[in-house]
Amino acid sequence: MSFAARPPAGSPGPRLASALRQDQGAVRLIPDGRRSSGRPKCRAADQNGSQGAATSSSAGGMQDAEKVAEAAVGIYEDEEDFDVDDMSGTIDAAGAGKSNISPGWLTQLGRLWGGESDCPVVNAAPEDIQDLLGGALFQAVFKYFQEAGPVYLLPTGPVSSFLVISNPECAKHVLKLSDNPKRGVYNKGLVAEVSQFLFGDGFAVAGGEHWRRRRKAVSPALHRSYLEAMIERVFSPSAHYLNAKLRVAARSGQPINMEASLTQLTLDVVGKAVFNYDFDSLKGDSPLIQAVYNALKETEQRATDLLPIWKLPMISSFIPRQKKALESVQLIRAVTEDLIRKCKVMVDAEGDSQFGEGYMNESDPSVLRFLLASREEVTSTQLRDDLLSMLVAGHETTGSALTWALYLLVQNPDKMEKAVEEINQVMGDRENPTLADYQKLRYITLCMCESLRLFPHPPVLLRRAAQADVLPGGYKVPVGQDVMISIYNVHHNPDVWENAEDFIPERFGMEGPVPNESNTDYKFIPFSGGPRKCVGDQFALMEAVVALAVILREFDFSIVPDQEIGMTTGATIHTTNGLYMNVVERKGSGASRVSTEETLEMAAP
């Protein structure tokens, strides 16, 4: 799908869902004609009586719904969220369900295995296949949600399916029970399987006790004084560096690809913050950016591959797609290992460190230095994989979040005016935001949140049921079922959000805490929630708000006309062909006071 870069004057911005709605004919099967506004009520048994036991998903059978529910209630802080009486639904994860009309080819395959269900089961229509397999998967998943309701089964092959969740109640339930130390019902399942080639044993995909130990070791590195130091030493200087590049574009009158520029910015930031290493990707095309993109695209393709050839290492090394991915991983790992080696030499030379709670080396506040100084017993491969988890998780996500925030602001001039007014008011003549400034940049923070609501990165989260479970609403989940929480659908769900498709930063309010999963009761979950919530959420928000403040204070942006800005996914929502903008220096801004020579010197490759 694509949408025009310039909506008519006064338009609230991209209206993604309405564009999708025009194309609803592709989604066919809706038992009993149920619509998305209501929770589908499911009958308990099918007239054919088949239980479709041929898949690993359904092996092990169902536990008694109420027993499962009781166990789950025990670990909820807010037990009233869980309605034990309303558990009549049935989902059979055998890969297919009952269809009233001619099923699509994927469902057809699924039915060969005898799967049956009275719950909504969607058919993959031919026009959706490109989105489902390696395109913008989340868009097809949204389209089905509009027809099939907040919980449905999406068959993806003869023996595989996703139970897709699009409402806050079920998302909260699954996220809170993911790797939960009291009762871990869900794990990372497929996502761990398909991204192991990239993350190895890194804590972003590891599970159970191993994951818990590594997360406990790594997350203290992101303490408050570290974040404060990052604002002044990394976020703000890196954004000024981007400004030098923007100035060259402004003075030459050449359009610039803001998606590429912002993704380079965030790679530079995360490189310095995690490794104290300057990738300097703003100065030239970094093969590492492409490598990370290739590797993440491969993980998504693996998740939807009908024939998982990647499970056969001997064969997969001859396939160009797999070869490219493996080469990318080799490059990413080699860079990471080199950085660890160099830092270790410095830490060893220091002898016994002053390590303690909130430790920060003044000359090198990086996460790597923190972890090495802690002198914890950890193998260098484990350290590499953990740091790589942070590098990959923190780079593209924040780059995409900034890209869409800028896009939305440019498309909504009244919001842009408010944003620039706030920046000028808070920062005055000062070029570098401080922690105090960050705390006052409330409207910019809300713009970032609203951008993350409309364009969440990643748009879907994957889990697998390690035990039988029952979702709020009564949907039974058998052992082994793959579950997809569509953050995109929760954020675009019209039953959850008023004017869900419009960019309205004000919806969160100018007072009170910054929106997160807890204070919105899982309506807003861009950083996930529960035990596996993002460890870099504060880091990311600070980085993005500081970058926007520094950039918007100096430049005006407009989208290059007649540009089709489509969407696709790796791990985040990307444009299909970049986001080209014209840049103009604001009168009286810092930019206009810098000479062309100075600018060229800063931005020279």
Min separation Cβ 214 and ligand HEM, Å: 8
**Residues in 238-277 at the binding interface with ligand HEM, rule: CB under 6 A:** 270
Quote the tokens at residue 303: 């998740």
Q: Does 90 bind ligand HEM (CB under 6 A)?
A: no
DSSP label of 281 = G
Least distance to ligand HEM from the beta carbon of 225, Å? Answer: 16
Min. distance of Cβ 150 from ligand HEM in angstroms? 19
Distances (CA, A) of 508 to 12, 197, 450, 498, 548: 17, 39, 8, 12, 19
Q: Which residue is nearest to ligand HEM (CB)?
A: 536
CB atoms within 10 A of CB 499: 10
| Among 109-117, 404-412, 422-430, 528-536, the segment contacting ligand HEM (CB under 6 A) | 528-536
Please, are residues 456 and 491 in contact by the beta-carbon 8 Å criterion? yes
Contacts of residue 433, defined as CB under 8 A and 6 or more positions apart, other chains included, come to: 231, 236, 426, 427, 441, 545, 546, 549, 550
Residue 274, CA distances (Å) to 84, 388, 393, 514 in order: 45, 9, 12, 25
User: For residue 173, which of 143, 150, 190, 142 has the smallest C-alpha distance?
Assistant: 150
Interaction between residue 393 and ligand HEM (CB under 6 A): yes
For 38, 69, 169, 482, the CA distances from 83, given in Å and listed in that order, are 16, 9, 10, 23
- Three-class DSSP labels, 94-139: CCCCCCCCCCCHHHHHHHHCCCCCCCCECCCCHHHHHHHCCCCHHH
In this structure, are residues 274 and 266 in contact, taking their beta carbons and an 8 Å threshold? Answer: no
Token look-up 């209630």 returns 73
Min separation Cβ 393 and ligand HEM, Å: 3
Binding positions for heme: 534
Shorter beta-carbon distance to ligand HEM: residue 55 or 486: 486
Tell me which of 539, 555, 557, 580 binds ligand HEM, using CB under 6 A: 539
CB of 87 or CB of 270, closer to ligand HEM: 270
Complex with ligand HEM: residue 522 or 539, whichever CB lies closer: 539
- Does a cis peptide bond (omega within 30 degrees of 0) precede residue 458? yes
List of residues 6+ apart from 334 with CB closer than 8 A: none
Only one of the segments 87-95, 138-146, 237-245, 390-398 lies at the binding site for ligand HEM (rule: CB under 6 A); that segment is 390-398
Q: Does 526 bind ligand HEM (CB under 6 A)?
A: yes
Phi-psi sector, 248: left (phi>0), alpha (psi -120 to 50), beta: alpha
Decide whether 52 or 433 has the Cβ nearer to ligand HEM. 433
**Element at 270 (helix H, strand E):** helix 258-275
Interface with ligand HEM by CB under 6 A: which range of 48-56, 249-257, 369-377, 395-403?
395-403
Site membership for ligand HEM, residue 389 (CB under 6 A): yes
Candidates 398, 451, 493, 599; binder of ligand HEM (CB under 6 A) is 398
Q: Which stretch binds ligand HEM (CB under 6 A): 20-28, 348-356, 530-538, 588-596?
A: 530-538
Considering the complex, state which of residue 34 and residue 532 has its C-beta at the smaller distance from ligand HEM.
532
**Of positions 288, 372, 447, 461, contacts ligand HEM by CB under 6 A:** 461
For ligand HEM, the closer CB: 114 or 536: 536
Does position 535 bind ligand HEM by CB under 6 A? yes
405 binding ligand HEM? (CB under 6 A) = no
Does residue 54 belong to the site contacting ligand HEM (CB under 6 A)? no
Min separation Cβ 452 and ligand HEM, Å:
6
Spell 319-352 as b/e; 16+ CB within 10 A means b. Answer: eebbebbbebbebbbebbbebbeebeeebeeeee
Cα–Cα distance for residue pair 597/605, rounded to 1 Å = 14
Minimal distance in Å, beta carbon 390 to ligand HEM? Answer: 4
Strands laid side by side in the 555-559 sheet: 256-257, 580-585, 555-559
**Which lies closer to ligand HEM via its Cβ, residue 297 or residue 532?**
532
Interacting residues with ligand HEM between 201 and 230 (CB under 6 A): 203-204, 215
Number of residues located near ligand HEM, criterion CB under 6 A:
23
Task: Point out which span in 240-248, 278-286, 332-340, 532-540 binds ligand HEM (CB under 6 A).
Answer: 532-540
Segment interacting with ligand HEM (CB under 6 A) among 92-100, 406-414, 521-529, 554-562? 521-529
Distance (Å, whole) CA 284 – CA 279: 10
**Contact call for residues 392 and 292 (beta carbons, < 8 A):** yes
Binding site for ligand HEM (CB under 6 A): 203-204, 215, 270, 389-390, 393-394, 397-398, 401, 452, 457, 461, 526-528, 532, 534-536, 539-540
